[in-house]
Each structure stands twice: as C-alpha cells, then as structure tokens.
Amino acid sequence: MSTIITPQTDTRMAEIFHKVRTGERLSIEDGVYLYESDDILTIGQMANEANLRKNGKKVYFIENMSLYFTNVCEAHCAFCNFRKDEGEEGSYTLSGQEMVDYVQQHYHPGVREFHIVGGHNNNVPFQYYVDSLQALKEAFPEVVLKAYTAAEIDFFTRISGLNIEQVLTKLREAGLQSLTGGGAEILSDEYRKKMRVDKANVDRYLEVHRTAHNMGMRTHTTMLYGSIESYEDRIRHMVQIRELQDETNGFLVFIPLSMQPKSKNASIMRRNSAYEDLKTIAISRLMLDNIDHIKAYFINIGTQLTQMALTFGASDAHGTIIKERISHAAGALTPEGLTRKELIWLIKGAGRIPVERDTFYNEIQVYE
C-alpha cells in the first residue's frame, strides 16, 4: 500500500514522510510538528504504512478479564475517580478467595489472561498482594497473571522494605508473569506535581520496567493524555519509552489512554476529540519504531473509533475484559467489555485480519 501525500502537505511533512519511508527515526521536533499539523490524513497514512510493515493486516486481541482486588488508595491523583479511602462508602478490599469466587461467576475456558490492577492500599501488608496472586494462580493455573502497575510495584517496595527486584521475585513466585502498563500517566515530574500524581515518579516508573525486563519479563506501557500536558510533553514521554526499549527490548505494546472526565454526564467539550485520539495513535506508531504494537483501547475511545484506529497505526484491539471499572468510574461511555465474536466483527469491519493472541502476542487462532 502506497502512502499518498495530500495536496496540503508542506515541505516539512514531506521530509517526515521520507524518514518514515526509509526507516529513519523521528525526532522530538518531528513529533511536535505532527501534533501541530492539521493534515491528519497524511499522518494516518504514514502510520498505517509503518504498521503494515510491522504487522501486515493482522490485528490482535485476547480473551481476558480485568480484576480489581481493592479500590482503597493512599494516592489522590487529580484525574482518578476510582479510588476510595478506607471505610468510605463503596470502598472494598477482596480476599484471594473472594476474587476466586467472583472469577468463577464469569470465567469460561477461553480466558487466557487476568489483567489485575487496583489501589495503593496501605491498610494491608505486602503479603496480601502476594497472596492475592497465589490464590488466583492456584485456582486458575492455565491463566496468565498480568498484574500490577509500575507505580504499584514502587508502592510495594515502600510498604515491604524490599527493593524492586525482591518485590518482583516474590510476586513471580506467586504467579506473576507480566506487568500492566498503567501508572505512567505523562512521564514528566512537573506534570505529575501539577496533577497530584503522588505515586512513583518518572525515574521509578522507568526503573521498575527496566528491572522487570532485565529479569526476563515482558511488560506493557501506557500514556494518559488529554489534560494539562503539552504536545512536547507527550512526545518526550514517547521518547523516554523508546529509549528504554532500545536498552531492554522488554515492552510488548504501547497503549495511549484517552483521559476520561469525572462524570458520565460531562459535555463533549470535556472529552478528547476523535481527531485528537486518532492523531495520538498515529503519532505513537510513528515515534515508537521499536515497539511492535500500538493498542487502540476501545474502553476509552469507543468501538467505532477503534475500527478507524486500525488504519491509523494500531495493531491491537485489546480484549474481552468482561467488566472494566477504572475508566468507567471516571465517566467513560463505552462498553465495559466485548465478546470474542464482537471483537472479530469489529476487526473484520475495518478490513483487517483478527488474530486471537496470548499475553505475549503468540498467535492462538487467525480468523481469515
């Protein structure tokens, strides 16, 4: 498939296109220019070409379940509507057996992954988080445990007195196989101060993933965009991820997360535009030349825009999820989950080839 430069393309865009076509890495200045450009068709065409070179027309998804052991959290991030204080109405902390009981109500043999995140609950010891994973692994030994964010791992070091490697070792012994990507938000300490992200700073977020990669783990990473950050903040975020990937090659996928308002009744002016979401996915594909997959997260951008994103550089449509809570606590208007049939339909509707995968992008079944 050839990229067609639109008539509005200027010299700078043509130079970027040449870099993309020849495999030359884009600079921070290039990324900011793409964000400032209104030529979304050319940006999307370039991202589509870059993705087709990596993945062809295959788009990946997984049968998974999102699980949340606790919503009690010591942090007070400005954008979060999921967290609760201990004893607050709606707060909960589930035991391992309670979570096993919940899973058994929704589980079917096709589920391959548990995606586990939650609050930074300092009312329970680190051993609680270890035991939680062990209970799930003992009950569902065939399911991969993709659990905890880098921010949670950093939190565990503080409540346990252990270092990052020791925390990860204990969790792996309990069944941990991969880390989730959350907690990155925007990798700028100035941003984190303004948004009251009182959890792992930039260096700690990167160090947790670096340590996990050096221990042989493959992990996921995110970017939460659409609040106070600048375009340059977003691009510098991507470059820091790209540099760590150069060092470790441990990231499986990059997941741009569109910021959700705190109320489902928030006006469209309080939400990212479809234009901004598509542009961010496309620019992520162009900047992150060393990461195989960019995910279109239907929970945040909706199913139809996810279809569009598959021709704007995305090669992953996430998974079945069953019941997502964090974005929906904020104000997401999207489905809380999709079935396998719906995901296949969604991908085929975009003219792509659905591929069911496991956590590590090993192909389970191709739906031609």
> Which residue ranges are tagged as binding site?
73, 77, 80
Q: Which residues contact 320 (CB under 8 A, 6 or more apart)?
A: 61, 62, 63, 64, 65, 111, 337, 338, 339, 340, 343
* Distance from C-alpha of 146 to C-alpha of 152, rounded to nearest angstrom: 13
Residue carrying the six token digits 């919940």: 102
Cβ burial of 172 (10 Å; 0-12, 13-18, 19+) is: middle
* Distance from C-alpha of 217 to C-alpha of 65, rounded to nearest angstrom: 20
In this structure, how many other beta carbons lie within 10 angstroms of the beta carbon of residue 340?
18
Is there a contact between 266 and 233 (Cβ–Cβ < 8 Å)? no
Strand, helix or coil for residue 323: coil
**What residues are designated binding site for [4Fe-4S] cluster?**
73, 77, 80
CA torsion 90→96→102→103, rounded to 10°?
130
Distance set, CA 101 to CA 94, 131, 161, 302 (Å): 10, 15, 31, 30
Report which of 325, 367, 326, 361 is spatially closest to residue 343, judged by C-alpha positions.
367
Strand, helix or coil for residue 64: strand
**Maximum pairwise Cα distance, the chain:** 61
b (16+ CB within 10 A) / e for 6-36: eeebeeebeebbebbeeeeebeeebbbbbbe
- State the DSSP string of 217-253: --EEEEEEESSS--HHHHHHHHHHHHHHHHHH--EEE
For residue 232, what are its two tokens? 């340059």
CA torsion 135→138→142→148, rounded to 10°?
30
